[in-house]
Chain A
Amino acid sequence: DAKTTQPPSMDCAEGRAANLPCNHSTISGNEYVYWYRQIHSQGPQYIIHGLKNNETNEMASLIITEDRKSSTLILPHATLRDTAVYYCIVRVSGGGADGLTFGKGTHLIIQP
Chain B
Amino acid sequence: GAGVSQSPRYKVAKRGQDVALRCDPISGHVSLFWYQQALGQGPEFLTYFQNEAQLDKSGLPSDRFFAERPEGSVSTLKIQRTQQEDSAVYLCASSPLRQTYTIYFGEGSWLTVV
Contact = CB atoms under 8 A, between A and B. Distances in A.
Contacts of B101: 32, 49, 93
Interface in A71-103: 85, 87, 93-103
A93 B43 CA distance: 19
A47 B93 CA distance: 15
A44 B35 CA distance: 11
Interface of A: 32, 41-46, 49, 85, 87, 93-105
A45 B105 contact: yes
Nearest to B92: A43
Given A93-B101, A99-B33, A43 B4 contact: yes
B95 to A, nearest CB: 7
Interface residues of B, number: 27
A31 to B, nearest CB: 13
A2 to B, nearest CB: 15
A71 to B, nearest CB: 16
B17 to A, nearest CB: 24
B56 interface: yes
Contacts of A105: 42
Contacts of B97: 96
A32 B42 CA distance: 19
Contact of A97 (B4, B55, B105): B55
Interface stretch (B44-52, B60-68, B71-79, B80-88): B44-52
